[in-house]
């Protein structure tokens, strides 16, 4: 499957995004031919975390949210990590970006704690989602239906529970981005 000509936004939070949930989708998207643009809370470099607590690698941030135009993207991937997802959901610019991608009908992938951003953007209500089990109640309280499966696809939302689910999550992302109308 080719994602040639597709541009996908990949979010990162400094000292917070779970490294494997950032790197594996990025590599899968690039291998399929997509152009991946890393969007963060600040420009420059952002360090990921490993298991939420240990330092991970540093990655270039292509643009911050004030520079990112949702119309320029064919889809969005939100990696988890409780620290990173919490930092992103506290940003009005990040929430507005996620909401704009959703309102445009583009696919959004969210893994682990990343569905917190779907909740903050008002997207969870009425959708079946999965996540890391500790935010199951948050999804339910936001009007979503929590499902314990490795990947859940509900309309344009693709969600997974944890790094263990990355193979299924990445495969579902590639399918969704290939099938979505291009911008």
Full domain range(s) for residue 78: 7-179
Most distant pair of Cα atoms in the chain: their distance: 39
Any domain includes 2: no
Q: Say whether 113 is catalytic.
A: yes
Helix (H) or strand (E) holding 61: strand 54-61
How many domains in the chain? 1
The answer as to whether 163 is a domain residue is yes
Q: Is residue 171 in a domain?
A: yes
102-148 tens-digit pLDDT: 999 999 999 999 999 999 999 999 999 999 999 999 999 999 999 99
In a domain, 29, yes or no: yes
* 118 is a domain residue: yes
> Looking at residue 162, which CATH number applies to its domain?
3.40.50.880
Task: Kindly tell me if the per-residue pLDDT of 41 is higher than 80.
Answer: yes
In a domain, 19, yes or no: yes
Statement: the pTM of the whole predicted model exceeds 0.85: yes
Contact 171, 32 (CB under 8 A): no
By the 8 A CB rule, do 130 and 160 touch?
yes
1 inside domain: no
Which is the catalytic residue, given 6, 87, 113, 127? 113
Q: Which residues pair with 135 in a beta bridge?
A: none
């Amino acid at each position: 499957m080719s994602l040639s000509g597709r541009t996908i936004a990949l979010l990162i939070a400094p000292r917070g995004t779970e490294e494997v949930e950032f790197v594996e989708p990025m590599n899968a998207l690039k291998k399929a031919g997509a152009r991946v643009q890393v969007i963060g809370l600040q420009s420059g470099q952002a360090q990921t975390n490993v298991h939420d607590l240990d330092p991970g690698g540093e990655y270039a941030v292509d643009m911050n949210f004030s520079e990112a135009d949702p119309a320029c993207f064919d889809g969005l991937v939100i990696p988890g990590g409780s620290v990173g997802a919490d930092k992103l959901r506290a940003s009005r610019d990040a929430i507005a970006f996620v909401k704009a991608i959703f309102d445009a009908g583009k696919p959004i992938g969210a893994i682990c704690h990343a569905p917190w951003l779907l909740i903050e953007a008002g997207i969870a209500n009425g959708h079946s989602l999965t996540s890391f089990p500790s935010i199951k109640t948050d999804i339910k309280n936001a009007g979503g239906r929590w499902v314990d499966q490795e990947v859940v696809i509900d309309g344009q939302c693709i969600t997974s529970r944890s790094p263990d689910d990355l193979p299924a999550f990445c495969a579902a992302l590639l399918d969704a981005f290939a099938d979505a109308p291009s911008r």
